Structure 1
C-alpha cells in the first residue's frame, strides 16, 4: 500500500490503515504528528490547523519508511533518534534503554530535595543514555556527577549527549557486580537498574521486547535484587553518612528491596500511577 498523496491528511489515513490493531487510534495520530514534525519541521499546531498542506517528496519517503518501522513495532524514539527528558534532548543513536516518565519522576524528586545545594557529589549507576546524570547536572549545576555503566553503547551515548548538551560530567565504564569502587565519597547515589524479572516478560509490549536492550531491563527470577545488593555494598564504603540513595524498583519486590537497605532510613514511594516505584534510603552512619 502506498500513501495516496503528499498531503498530511493522506499521510495520516495511511498511518491509521497500516498501524490499526497494533496501536490505539490516538497513539497512531500522536506518533504520526511527531514524525511529521521531526522529518518535515511542521509544528503540531500547524498540522492540526491545516491537514491539507503538502510535504516534500523526499520527506514523504522518510515518513513512509518510518510508518513501516512503526508497523514492525520499532519505538518512535529510535526512529527519530532522540527523546525529550526533563527539558533536555537526548540522542538515542546507540542501543540504550529509552528513558521512561517514571524516571523523570525520580529525577524530579532528587532535584526538589537537593536544589540549591553546593558541591554535591552524585553517582548514577547504570547511566544508559545519560538521562539521569545529565538532567541532574543541568538542574544542580554546582554538583559533580559520575556516570557509570558496563555497556560500551551506554558509555558512548552518554558521552555524545554530554557533549551535545555542553554538560561536564565524569563518565566511567565499570561493572557494578565485579569492579572495585573505593574513595568516591558520594553525597547521593541514584540508579534505575534492571529489575523486571524474566517471568514478567509476558507482560511487556513487543516494541520493548523486540528492540530495547534486555540487559538493561531484565534480571533472573532467582536473583532479582542482585543490583540493589551490589549498590548497597558499594554505598557502605562510598556514600557519606547522611548521604542518600534514590532508586527505581519493581513494585512486586518493594518490601524485599527495602530489606536490602535495612540499616538505612528507608522509604518506599509511589509514582503518579499509585504504584510503589521508588525507594529512598538515607545512610545513618
Structure 2
C-alpha cells in the first residue's frame, strides 16, 4: 500500500498539463478536500480502495485541465472562500495585491467605492469586509456573474449593492464616489495561443480578452467615466496587463489624472496603475 506522498507523486504525474510542483499542489488540494489529508500525513498509508468515488471523478476532471476551483465550486481570495462558476474568473493572487493596496491606502471611514467588472464580487466584498464602514457597489455585464457575486455577499455577510451595467455603452448610476476600481478584460486575443488550456478552455472569454485593435478600450472608457463619477481627489485603481503599464499611465495622464503610479506585484511584474482626480 503506498504512502500519501507516493500516491500524490503518482497522481500528479498524470496531470500532464501542469508543471510537477503545481500538479502536486492540485492533487494535495484534492486529497485534503475529500479526505481531510494534510501534509503532516505524508508518511501515512493511502488505501485507494477506501476513497469515495467522487475523488476519482474529480481527478478525471482535473486531468482534462478543468480548474480545481470550478470542480469544487469555490476558490480562496484574501482569506475567504468565494463561490465561482464558469461565468466568473477565478480570483487570483494579483488581485489580492490590488485589494491589499486599496485597504492600506484608504483608512478613512465611510468611503464610497465602485468596482466595475465585478465577477465573483471578490474585490468589493473584500473591501466591504476589511475597510472602515464603506459604501460599496459592484457592477458587471453578466447576469450569471452577478448571481454568483450576490451569493458570495450573502454567504460572507457583506453589504454590497450589485447591478448590471455594460460599461462600454452605459454610465453607472453611482455618483460622488471616492474609489473606482476595476480589473477589466486585458488580454489581447492574439495571446490566446500562449495561454494555459485550463484558462483558455474553461474561464469566460468575455472577462479575459480584448481586441488587439484597441487593447485599452476598457481602461479608456472606465477612466473617462471616472472623471464624471469620482469626487475631487477621488482615486482610480486598475489591475493591468503587465505589458501595458506605461500605456495605461499615459492614458490617465492624458485624461487629467494626477499622481499616476505604475506598481509591480510580488513577482516584479507591472500589475497595477493608480491615479487621482
Q: TM-score range with shorter-chain normalisation?
A: over 0.9
Given that 2:7 and 2:46 are in contact with CA atoms closer than 8 Å, whether structure 1 keeps it comes out as no
1:110 aligns with 2:102: yes
Given that 1:111 and 1:140 are in contact with CA atoms closer than 8 Å, whether structure 2 keeps it comes out as yes
Choose the corresponding residue for 1:159, options 115, 139, 150.
150
Q: Which residue of 1 aligns with 2:239?
A: 248
CA distance in 1: counterparts of 2:174 and 2:13, whole angstroms: 58
Q: Which residue of 2 aligns with 1:99?
A: 91
1:47 aligns with 2:38: no
1:12 aligns with 2:8: yes
CA distance in 2: counterparts of 1:102 and 1:149, whole angstroms: 20
Q: Which residue of 2 aligns with 1:277?
A: 271
Choose the corresponding residue for 1:218, options 195, 199, 209.
209
RMSD: 1.9
1:30 aligns with 2:25: yes
* Residue 68 (structure 1) shift: 1.0
- In structure 2, relative to structure 1, the CA distance for the partners of 1:48 and 1:7 (3 Å cut) is closer
Choose the corresponding residue for 1:76, options 68, 71, 76.
68
Q: Secondary structure of the residue that 2:75 maps to in structure 1?
A: strand
Q: Which residue of 2 aligns with 1:264?
A: 257
Mark the runs of 5 or more structure 1 residues left unpaired by the alignment.
Answer: none
Given that 1:124 and 1:148 are in contact with CA atoms closer than 8 Å, whether structure 2 keeps it comes out as yes
Q: Secondary structure of the residue that 2:163 maps to in structure 1?
A: strand
Q: Which residue of 1 aligns with 2:168?
A: 177
Q: How does 1:119-198 map to 2 (within 5 A)?
A: 119-182=110-173, 184-198=175-189
* Residue 234 (structure 1) shift: 1.2
1:238 aligns with 2:229: yes
CA distance in 1: counterparts of 2:249 and 2:270, whole angstroms: 11
TM-score calculated relative to the size of structure 1: 0.90
Q: Which runs of 4+ in 1 moved over 6 A?
A: none
* Residue 11 (structure 1) shift: 4.3
Given that 2:12 and 2:27 are in contact with CA atoms closer than 8 Å, whether structure 1 keeps it comes out as no
Given that 2:4 and 2:42 are in contact with CA atoms closer than 8 Å, whether structure 1 keeps it comes out as no
- In structure 2, relative to structure 1, the CA distance for the partners of 1:45 and 1:140 (3 Å cut) is same
* Residue 178 (structure 1) shift: 1.0
**Offset from partner CA, 1:25-79 (integer Å, 9 cap, x none):** 2222211111111122x141343252x154784x431111111111100011111
- In structure 2, relative to structure 1, the CA distance for the partners of 1:141 and 1:32 (3 Å cut) is same
Q: Secondary structure of the residue that 2:170 maps to in structure 1?
A: coil
